[in-house]
A and B are shown apart, each in its own frame.
Chain A
Amino acid sequence: MKIRVCFFAGIREAVGVEEECFELPSNIKNLEQLRDWYVTRGEPWSSALSPTRAVRAALNHQMCDWDVLIMANSEIAFFPPVTGG
């Protein structure tokens, strides 16, 4: 299934990508698995989305826990903890 993935703030700068659309590998079911898959791409992805870094994820404009399942045509975003206000 197709998904769109967006990156914001320091993570966007680190990976040099604002967003990308692609066919999700069939073995990736949830947000944690997607993050792990990015880490296997090597640098700069592995550092930017490393499990040791504070990263938040949103699915279809809603902040989510890492075990949330990805649906077809989802928009997923990875970003650092928010700092507005």
Chain B
Amino acid sequence: MPVRIQQNDFDLSTEIAALRASNSAVGAVASFVGIARDVNVGDVIQTLTLEHYPGMTEKVLQELIEQAKQRWKIFDALIVHRVGTLKPQDQIVLVAVTGVHRDDALSACQFIMDFLKTDAPFWKKEMTAQGERWVAARRSDTEAAARWSRPIKCTKNTL
């Protein structure tokens, strides 16, 4: 399954081994793991609770993988995103991409992660000593995704 939404934790090595197991042409694996931080906007975070829109989430993430496959020479991609209540230092998200060479794998991984941030229907709620609050969307995430609509030549120069 290239897209999984789950409460359970994941193991990077196990996921990558499975992703490239049946393909001896893979020469590069790029991966990104997002981690829950202990401080946000100056406040200590006790827990982080993630909610999503079942059905739409899987569809959006699958489409991102398809777009990455059309744009770069990659074999496959995996997205694992956790939901439910997490603690600081817990893993939140994994994106892994297999390809022949590193350039395409790295770019595709970053592309998927950038658009996951702006397009995939997940929401985070933080518990702090002052109570709970929904995390606000960041302008820098929108800007990160926007660069990919530039011509590919320019995009690559910015990496």
Contacts and interface: CB of A to CB of B under 8 A. Distances in A.
B52 A84 contact: yes
Contacts of A83: 122-124, 134-137
A81 B139 CA distance: 11
Contacts of B134: 9-10, 80, 83
B113 interface: yes
A79 B34 contact: no
Contact of B50 (A54, A63, A84): A84
Contact of A84 (B55, B81, B125, B136): B81
A80 B113 CA distance: 19
Contacts of B34: 85
A58 B56 CA distance: 9
Nearest to B34: A85
Interface residues of A, number: 17
Contacts of A41: none
A61 B122 contact: no
Interface in A65-85: 77, 79-85
B92 interface: yes
A79 B123 contact: yes
A5 interface: no
Contacts of A82: 117-123, 137
A61 B137 contact: no
B109 interface: no
Interface in A11-38: none
A45 interface: no
B53 A58 contact: yes
13 contacts: A8-B53, A9-B134, A58-B56, A61-B53, A61-B60, A63-B121, A79-B53, A79-B121, A79-B123, A82-B120, A82-B121, A85-B34, A85-B93
Given A84-B81, A84-B123, 4 more contacts: A62-B59, A82-B122, A84-B52, A84-B122
